[in-house]
Structure 1
Amino acid sequence: ARIALERRKFLKTADVAVRRQATWSSLAHDMTAEFRSLCAEE
């Protein structure tokens, strides 16, 4: 039962990490798009 618990904990951590990575990449993408539009206006 302990191995299952450890695995669940690991999967939960991995899931959070993936979600955080996705949030960061989308945020970075938005910032880059905004920056490009600002540069285009110059």
Structure 2
Amino acid sequence: MAIKVSIVEDLPEVREGLARLINSDDELELLQDFENAESAMR
């Protein structure tokens, strides 16, 4: 069972890099990524 992860990061380059890193690990599952906390809380 994979660990479910969401990303909240305002810098697109960092957010995309983290997404690639998470997606490359079979033990992690990226659920969503957000550019700010307000978007994440909706």
Bigger radius of gyration among the two: 1
TM-score by length of 1: 0.36
Q: Between Structure 1 and Structure 2, which shows a larger proportion of helix residues?
A: 1
Whose relative contact order is higher, 1 or 2, with alpha carbons under 8 Å and at least 6 apart?
A: 2
Q: Between Structure 1 and Structure 2, which shows a larger proportion of strand residues?
A: 2
